[in-house]
């Protein structure tokens, strides 16, 4: 009944197995979104596609950035740039838990030896105006994934509800591959002619970004970028739905949402530079949330968002 | 008499919600059944991470037939009214009967409701229960509209009789009831059928599910303590954690592991918090050294390697967590030792305490000043108290407290010690939050008491100054708790301090920040004057006089803002005190009689008076004296009203006619001679006893003498005598407020 699965040998093999597992379960395997984001949820394939009634099913790797987590490449388990693996299925299938457990088997976790637990953890993203209920999934006491049933996104009730799975790839890989120091784990096949570790790929850049994030980034320029992104987002959404040039109805939800993503990332950078006070913090988060809500409002006016002309 | 079994099988229910959900299931279903006319002999509810279960035994087979008679309109009522009645009652015209009533001939409808079978009622009640279940937080899933705590997968609903069991048919949002359930997710996957509760419970156990949470908790505790004991160690008891862990597993397996050598020097509280909050581990202590040396984790399954892989994984996670904690601890120690916590103190400027009351740093500054003033009164060193107030909140900016907020105060103690501050200061960092709950210990070290009082009074005066007082059940800033804290600090340390003075001083500081027209100099001058004169009013008048001719707009603004707030806050304290004393068995009228006296802002004095009064009222003399007092007071009040004069000239013994009158004069003189010095010395027991001793002479006097004598001289003298009695008694307490 329980198939024995070989242990993966590298970070990339874990990603490849997840890709093929979820492809086998019918997900569209997407590529990362081409912008700086704080987490996989920001990908429009999750945020926007969880809105409206159109069914959706996707899986993808999303490189993510959290400037405040920078440790100059010195930490064994914290990087300002890291990877999340994201699965989003709408409506959430009744066997989503079983599908998820299957993915753990696929990357070599033997359910007969490990203790897998679903521990209450409600998810909330104040910047996206989103929340959901679910769990963090524990494997032998370690959080390996976040499992969420989206209830609201961008201020809109989700109906139907999307099921979202987020795997923190570095931590999961360190566990599966048996490494305490993430920088030392093999990125590609350790028997390859040119074996590379995770650290070979990222460690130096981590130091560079940490220095820039914490001390060098020009805060005046960033502040201006924030204001510009905020203004552009609003301007895009102010345009009439009917395009005067083509004569077609084109609601520009996604270009506007790009500006929202930008503003969110710039806020994270400003936060890392330590120029945002505790009281201002809430105000900034509120401003990004306003953008996210506007974009959500626009998305439900598109065909993908369930708008019927 | 069938038995009912219900199981609601879902994805994992949060541990903290399980016990209440089981109770709610039981009460909602059984109430519903009873309302519908069924009875039962017993019921019990259970919860595991994946199921809520209810058994109801000895249910009646069907609800009884009910015959109801409903009165309608008069027979000569308009057709419309009669039709309306027929519709409402659901009967035909021909079924109505007529009867003579007082007001005439009236229609009656006989409505017969046949009983319903149990299965039908159970289906209705369960449907309603599931749809309206009081989860603290619920969700939708898939494309459905049902709300449950997490997706609901199965509804098992069986009525079991001696000759077999039947599924109660129902369907909720696409989930059809049946007789199947599932066992342990990993150890026994797949569904199986059951026939009743006993079969269900037995099959579950075979499928590696212990149904009863208490049984799981007991098994965990038993096994944990045994394993610890075998290694000469003991498990740190934690009932909350035990309940939570029992809610995370269906098949508990206890595993004990080592904490890395590197981490054993972390403060034990840090180890405990780190293990409990993030990992749900129990701490295992060496009773000889008091050190936390191992941990207990509870897995949800047996494995072929006896949990070795699971334990190794948990150990690894713990090491990573503790490495973080150690990193915070060492970084924090550097700031504490090397920089005497200075960067933390600075960063408190950026932390908002409340948008109208400024930053935490502003608060610290205010508390420091008040702690200085309180120190001499509570017997604490002034400079140490100010120093303690200055650093008491420093740890809020430390990395450890950021990660583990529940360690606030305690880390302050460690870090203050590391910074080389005196023990009294370090202790105050931890103790100034106390007492938090009504059963919490009250600090006794003078410096801790000074800071604890200053901090609580600052919070209370602050929220009073911005008019954000508790209302009804809403008390978001825990101000009732703060006031009770002040009361307990004062009473349990038997501190005699005039609360008015400190309330007023701190209100002046708050209002000074809130009102633009008030300058810092004026705040300082007012606070100094309050220290000298005792209360704001006197301080204000003294300052106003001294500044005759100068611009006193700021002072006047303060005088407009302050007194009402101050009076209101003191009466809030008195309300809390009444609650507190009532719990200790002191009558509310006794407290009122004492609150009405001068010096009621000295809570220790107030309570001493109340206790003495309660004591004396429990004696026969005391009780009767109150009657005598009231009689005297009534006669006197009536006479004073009638005559329009106040009889307070002092009676003259030479007009005494009756021997009882003479005796009363003597007794009064004696009582006064005892009461006055006793009151001076705040010896309420002696004063009250002296007062109670008047009972005999007072009673005898009223027995023998007519106060309203015909002779105007005699009458006036006797009224003046009553006035003396009243005066003497009122020195002790306001007896007019005593009931009965």
What does the pLDDT average to over B720-737?
88
Average pLDDT, rounded, for chain A: 94
| Terminal-residue alpha carbon distance, chain B | 57
Nearest Cα to A123, choosing from A115, A132, A114? A132
Q: Report d(CA A64, CA A41) in Å as an integer.
A: 10
Percent of chain B clearing pLDDT 90 (strictly above): 61
Q: Is the confidence at residue B687, as pLDDT, over 80?
A: yes
Query: Which of B248, B317, B352 faces A279 most closely, judged by CB atoms?
Result: B352
Q: Is the confidence at residue B554, as pLDDT, over 90?
A: no
Query: Which of B139, B151, B304 faces A112 most closely, judged by CB atoms?
Result: B304
Q: How far is A75 from chain B (nearest CA, A)?
A: 10
Q: How confident is the model at residue B67 (pLDDT cuts 50, 70, 90)?
A: confident
Which residue of B lies nearest to A279 if distances are taken between CA atoms?
A: B352
Percent of chain B clearing pLDDT 70 (strictly above): 100
Which residue of B lies nearest to A53 if distances are taken between CA atoms?
A: B143
What does the pLDDT average to over A206-212?
95
Q: Report d(CA B361, CA B344) in Å as an integer.
A: 10
Q: Please tell me if residue A50 touches chain B, with a CB cutoff of 8 Å.
A: no
Residues of A with Cβ-Cβ distance to B139 under 8 angstroms: 132-133, 149, 151, 161
Q: How far is A220 from chain B (nearest CA, A)?
A: 20
CB B211 within 8 A of CB B46: yes
Q: Is the confidence at residue B621, as pLDDT, over 80?
A: yes
The partner residues of B54 in beta bridges, in order of sequence, read: B6, B45
Per-residue CA distances from A148 to A111, A171, B173, B483 (Å): 22, 19, 21, 42
Residues B203-222 have pLDDT tens digits of 999 999 999 999 999 999 99
Q: What per-residue confidence (pLDDT) applies to B327? A: 86
Q: Is the peptide bond before A91 cis (omega within 30 degrees of 0)?
A: yes
Q: Is the confidence at residue B326, as pLDDT, over 70?
A: yes
Sign of the C-alpha dihedral computed for residues B560, B566, B571 and B575 taken in this order: positive
Q: How confident is the model at residue B278 (pLDDT cuts 50, 70, 90)?
A: confident
Residues of B with Cβ-Cβ distance to A139 under 8 angstroms: 313
List of E strands, B211-314 = 234-235, 253-258, 282-285, 292-299
Run of H or E residues at B227 = helix B213-230
Q: How confident is the model at residue B94 (pLDDT cuts 50, 70, 90)?
A: confident
Query: What number of other Cβ atoms are within 10 A of residue B103's Cβ?
Result: 7
Q: Please tell me if residue A283 touches chain B, with a CB cutoff of 8 Å.
A: no
Query: Which of B151, B186, B317 faces A111 most closely, judged by CB atoms?
Result: B186
What's phi and psi for A273, nearest 5 deg?
-75, -5
| CATH of segment(s) B603-737 | 1.10.730.10
| Stretch among A207-221, B447-461, B516-530 having the lowest mean pLDDT | B516-530
ipTM of this complex: 0.94
Q: How far is A176 from chain B (nearest CA, A)?
A: 10
Nearest Cα to B276, choosing from B308, B306, B243? B243
Q: Report d(CA B395, CA B381) in Å as an integer.
A: 23
* Region for A240 from its dihedrals, namely left if φ exceeds 0, alpha if ψ lies in -120 to 50, beta otherwise: beta
Tell me whether residues B312 and A140 touch, CB distance under 8 A. Answer: yes
Residues B375-426 have pLDDT tens digits of 999 999 999 999 999 999 999 999 899 888 889 999 999 999 999 999 999 9
Residues of A with Cβ-Cβ distance to B314 under 8 angstroms: 140-142
Q: How far is B78 from chain A (nearest CA, A)?
A: 52
The ranges assigned to domains in chain B are 3-62+117-206, 74-100, 213-338, 603-737
- Tokens at A274, concatenated: 């330590």
Q: Report d(CA A122, CA B543) in Å as an integer.
A: 58
Alpha helices (H) along B379-445: 382-391, 399-403, 410-418, 423-431
Q: What per-residue confidence (pLDDT) applies to A274? A: 78
Tell me whether residues B139 and A149 touch, CB distance under 8 A. Answer: yes
Residues of A with Cβ-Cβ distance to B49 under 8 angstroms: 118
What does the pLDDT average to over B649-678?
87
Tell me whether residues A92 and B309 touch, CB distance under 8 A. Answer: no
Per-residue CA distances from B278 to A94, B68, B255, B291, B408 (Å): 29, 61, 17, 20, 17
Q: What per-residue confidence (pLDDT) applies to B475? A: 86
The two beta strands, B152-161 and B175-178, are parallel
CB B675 within 8 A of CB B729: no
Q: How far is A181 from chain B (nearest CA, A)?
A: 10
Q: How confident is the model at residue B138 (pLDDT cuts 50, 70, 90)?
A: very high
Burial class (CB in 10 A: 0-12, 13-18, 19+), A6: exposed
User: Who contacts B87 (Cβ-Cβ below 8 Å, separation ≥6)?
Assistant: none
Query: Which residue in this structure is represented by tokens 């908002």?
Result: B352
Per-position b or e across A179-197, b if 16+ CB within 10 A of its CB: beebbebbbbeeeeeeebb
Q: Report d(CA B197, CA B46) in Å as an integer.
A: 12
Of the CATH numbers 3.30.980.20, 1.20.58.180, 1.10.150.120, 1.10.10.10, which one belongs to the domain with range A218-299?
Answer: 1.20.58.180
Q: Report d(CA B4, CA A291) in Å as an integer.
A: 53
Query: Which of B143, B318, B355 faces A91 most closely, judged by CB atoms?
Result: B143
Q: Please tell me if residue A2 touches chain B, with a CB cutoff of 8 Å.
A: no
What's phi and psi for B223, nearest 5 deg?
-70, -40
What does the pLDDT average to over B716-737?
88
Query: Which of A113, A134, A180 faces B303 most closely, judged by CB atoms?
Result: A113
The two beta strands, B3-10 and B152-161, are antiparallel
| CATH of segment(s) A11-211 | 3.30.930.10
What does the pLDDT average to over B175-183?
97
Which residue of B lies nearest to A97 if distances are taken between CA atoms?
A: B11
CB B122 within 8 A of CB B63: no
- Tokens at A247, concatenated: 């004569």
Q: Please tell me if residue A114 touches chain B, with a CB cutoff of 8 Å.
A: yes
Q: Please tell me if residue A203 touches chain B, with a CB cutoff of 8 Å.
A: no
Which residue of B lies nearest to A52 if distances are taken between CA atoms?
A: B143
Ranked by mean pLDDT, which of B33-37, B653-657, B712-716 comes out on top?
Answer: B33-37
Run of H or E residues at A132 = strand A130-139
Q: Report d(CA B186, CA B208) in Å as an integer.
A: 9
- Tokens at A150, concatenated: 């989206």
Query: Which residue in this structure is represented by tokens 């009203």?
Result: B641
What does the pLDDT average to over B250-278?
91
- Tokens at B356, concatenated: 């109208």
Q: How far is B394 from chain A (nearest CA, A)?
A: 17
Query: What number of other Cβ atoms are within 10 A of residue B552's Cβ?
Result: 17
Query: Which residue in this structure is represented by tokens 């000239």?
Result: B649
What does the pLDDT average to over B681-710?
88
Q: Please tell me if residue A250 touches chain B, with a CB cutoff of 8 Å.
A: no
Tell me whether residues B309 and A163 touch, CB distance under 8 A. Answer: no
What does the pLDDT average to over B149-168?
96
Burial class (CB in 10 A: 0-12, 13-18, 19+), B493: middle
* Region for B208 from its dihedrals, namely left if φ exceeds 0, alpha if ψ lies in -120 to 50, beta otherwise: left
How many beta-carbon contacts under 8 Å exist across A and B? 101
Tell me whether residues A161 and B141 touch, CB distance under 8 A. Answer: yes
Average pLDDT, rounded, for chain B: 92
- Tokens at B398, concatenated: 């430390």
Domains A11-211 and A218-299 share a fold: no
The ranges assigned to domains in chain A are 11-211, 218-299
Q: How confident is the model at residue A1 (pLDDT cuts 50, 70, 90)?
A: very low
Residues A12-23 have pLDDT tens digits of 999 999 999 999
Residues B217-247 have pLDDT tens digits of 999 999 999 999 999 999 999 999 999 999 9
3-state secondary structure of B738: coil
Q: What per-residue confidence (pLDDT) applies to A2? A: 46
3-state secondary structure of B435: coil
- Tokens at B463, concatenated: 């929220």
Q: How far is B240 from chain A (nearest CA, A)?
A: 16
| Half-sphere exposure of residue B104: CA atoms within 13 angstroms, side-chain side | 8
| Half-sphere exposure of residue B6: CA atoms within 13 angstroms, side-chain side | 25
- Which of the pair, B99 or A87, is modelled with greater confidence? A87
Residues of A with Cβ-Cβ distance to B357 under 8 angstroms: none
Nearest Cα to B636, choosing from B726, B698, B711, B714? B726
The two beta strands, B180-182 and B175-178, are unpaired
Q: What per-residue confidence (pLDDT) applies to A309? A: 63
Q: Please tell me if residue B303 touches chain A, with a CB cutoff of 8 Å.
A: yes
Q: Please tell me if residue A275 touches chain B, with a CB cutoff of 8 Å.
A: no
User: Who contacts A42 (Cβ-Cβ below 8 Å, separation ≥6)?
Assistant: A33, A62, A64, A128, A261, A264
Percent of chain A clearing pLDDT 70 (strictly above): 97
Write out the DSSP string of A198-218.
HHHHHHHHHHHHHHIIIIIS-
Which residue of A lies nearest to B305 if distances are taken between CA atoms?
A: A113
Q: Report d(CA B534, CA B502) in Å as an integer.
A: 9
Q: Is the confidence at residue A249, as pLDDT, over 60?
A: yes
């Amino acid at each position: 009944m329980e198939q024995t699965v070989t242990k993966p040998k590298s970070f990339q093999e874990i990603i490849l197995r997840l890709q093929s597992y979820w492809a086998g379960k019918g997900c569209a395997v997407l590529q990362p979104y081409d912008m700086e984001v704080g987490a996989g949820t920001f990908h429009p394939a999750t945020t926007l596609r969880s809105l409206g009634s159109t069914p959706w099913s996707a899986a993808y790797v999303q490189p993510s950035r959290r400037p405040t987590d920078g440790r100059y490449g010195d930490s064994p388990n914290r990087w300002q740039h890291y990877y999340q693996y994201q699965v989003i299925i709408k409506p959430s299938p009744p066997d989503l838990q079983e599908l998820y457990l299957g993915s753990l088997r696929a990357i070599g976790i033997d359910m007969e030896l490990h203790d897998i637990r679903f521990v209450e953890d409600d998810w909330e993203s104040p910047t996206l105006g989103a929340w959901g209920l679910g769990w963090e999934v524990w494997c032998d006491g370690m959080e390996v994934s976040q499992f969420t049933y989206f209830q609201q996104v961008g201020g809109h009730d989700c109906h139907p509800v999307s099921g979202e799975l987020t795997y923190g790839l570095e931590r999961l890989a360190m566990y599966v591959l048996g490494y305490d120091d993430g920088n030392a784990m093999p990125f590609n096949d350790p028997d390859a002619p040119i074996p590379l570790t995770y650290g070979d790929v990222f460690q130096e850049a981590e130091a560079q970004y940490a220095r820039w994030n914490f001390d060098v980034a020009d805060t005046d320029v960033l502040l201006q970028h924030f204001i510009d992104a905020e203004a552009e987002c609003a301007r895009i959404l102010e345009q009439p739905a009917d395009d005067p040039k083509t004569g077609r109805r084109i609601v520009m939800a996604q270009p506007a949402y790009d500006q929202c993503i930008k503003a969110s990332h710039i806020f994270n950078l400003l936060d890392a530079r330590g120029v945002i006070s505790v009281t201002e913090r809430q105000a900034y988060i509120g401003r990004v949330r306003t953008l996210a809500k506007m974009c959500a409002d626009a998305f439900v006016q598109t065909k993908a968002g369930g708008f019927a002309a | 008499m069938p038995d009912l079994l219900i199981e609601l099988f879902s994805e994992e229910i949060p541990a903290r919600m399980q016990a209440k959900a089981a109770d709610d299931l039981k009460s909602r279903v059984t109430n519903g059944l009873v309302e519908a006319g069924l009875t039962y002999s017993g019921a019990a509810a259970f919860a595991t991470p994946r199921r809520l279960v209810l058994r109801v035994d000895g249910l009646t087979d069907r609800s009884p037939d009910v015959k109801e008679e409903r009165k309608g309109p008069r027979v000569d009522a308009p057709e419309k009214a009669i039709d309306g009645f027929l519709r409402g009652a659901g009967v035909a015209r021909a079924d109505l009967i007529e009867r003579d009533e007082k007001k005439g001939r009236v229609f009656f409808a006989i409505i017969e409701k046949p009983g319903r079978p149990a299965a039908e009622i159970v289906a209705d009640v369960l449907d309603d229960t599931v749809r309206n279940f009081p989860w603290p937080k619920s969700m939708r899933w898939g494309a459905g509209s049902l709300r449950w705590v997490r997706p609901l997968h199965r509804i098992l609903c069986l009525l079991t009789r001696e000759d077999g069991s039947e599924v109660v048919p129902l369907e909720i949002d696409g989930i059809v009831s049946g007789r199947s359930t599932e066992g342990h997710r990993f150890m026994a996957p797949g569904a199986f059928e059951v026939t009743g509760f006993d079969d269900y419970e037995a099959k579950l156990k075979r499928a590696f599910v212990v149904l009863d949470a208490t049984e799981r908790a007991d098994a965990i505790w038993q096994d944990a303590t045994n394993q610890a004991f075998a290694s000469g160690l003991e498990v740190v008891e934690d009932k909350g954690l035990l309940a939570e862990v029992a809610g995370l597993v269906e098949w508990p397996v206890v595993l004990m592991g080592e904490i890395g050598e590197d981490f054993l020097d972390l403060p034990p509280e840090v180890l405990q918090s780190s293990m409990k909050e993030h990992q749900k581990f129990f701490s295992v202590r060496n009773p000889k050294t008091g050190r936390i040396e191992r941990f207990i984790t509870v897995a949800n399954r047996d494995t072929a390697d006896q949990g070795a892989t699971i334990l190794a994984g948990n150990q690894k996670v713990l090491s990573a967590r503790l490495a973080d904690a150690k990193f915070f601890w060492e970084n924090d120690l550097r700031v504490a030792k090397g920089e005497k916590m200075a960067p933390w103190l600075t960063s408190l400027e950026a932390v908002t305490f409340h948008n109208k009351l400024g930053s935490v740093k502003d608060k610290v500054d205010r508390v420091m000043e008040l702690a200085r003033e309180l120190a001499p009164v509570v017997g604490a060193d002034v400079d140490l108290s100010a120093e303690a107030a200055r650093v008491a909140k420093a740890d809020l900016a430390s990395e450890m407290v950021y990660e583990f907020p529940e360690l606030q105060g305690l880390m302050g103690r460690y870090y203050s010690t590391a910074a080389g501050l005196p023990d009294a200061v370090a202790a105050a960092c931890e103790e100034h939050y106390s007492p938090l709950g009504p059963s919490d210990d009250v600090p006794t070290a003078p410096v801790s008491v000074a800071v604890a009082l200053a901090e609580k009074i600052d919070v209370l005066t602050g929220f009073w100054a911005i008019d954000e007082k508790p209302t009804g059940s809403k008390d978001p800033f825990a101000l009732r708790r703060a006031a009770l804290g002040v009361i307990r600090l004062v009473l349990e340390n038997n501190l005699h301090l005039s609360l008015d003075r400190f309330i007023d001083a701190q209100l002046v500081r708050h209002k000074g920040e809130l009102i633009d027209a008030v300058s810092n100099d004026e705040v300082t001058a007012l606070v100094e004057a309050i220290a000298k004169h005792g209360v704001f009013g006197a301080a204000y008048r003294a300052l106003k006089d001294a500044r005759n001719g100068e611009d006193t707009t700021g002072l006047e603004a303060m005088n407009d803002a302050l007194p009402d707030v101050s009076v209101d806050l003191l009466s809030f304290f008195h309300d809390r005190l009444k609650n507190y004393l009532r719990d200790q068995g002191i009558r509310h009228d006794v407290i009122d009689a004492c609150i009405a006296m001068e010096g009621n802002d000295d809570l220790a004095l107030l309570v001493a008076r109340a206790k003495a009064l309660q004591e004396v009222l429990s004696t026969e003399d005391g009780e009767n004296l109150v009657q005598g007092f009231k009689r005297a007071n009534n006669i006197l009040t009536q006479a004073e009203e009638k005559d329009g004069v106040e009889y307070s000239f002092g009676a003259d013994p030479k007009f005494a006619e009756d021997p009882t009158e003479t005796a009363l004069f003597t007794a009064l003189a004696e009582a006064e001679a005892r009461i006055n010095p006793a009151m001076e010395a705040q010896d309420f027991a002696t004063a009250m006893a002296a007062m109670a001793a008047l009972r005999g002479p007072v009673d005898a006097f009223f027995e023998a003498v007519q106060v309203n004598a015909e002779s105007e001289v005699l009458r006036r003298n006797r009224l003046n005598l009553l006035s003396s009695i009243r005066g003497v008694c009122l020195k002790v307490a306001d007896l007019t407020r005593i009931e009965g």
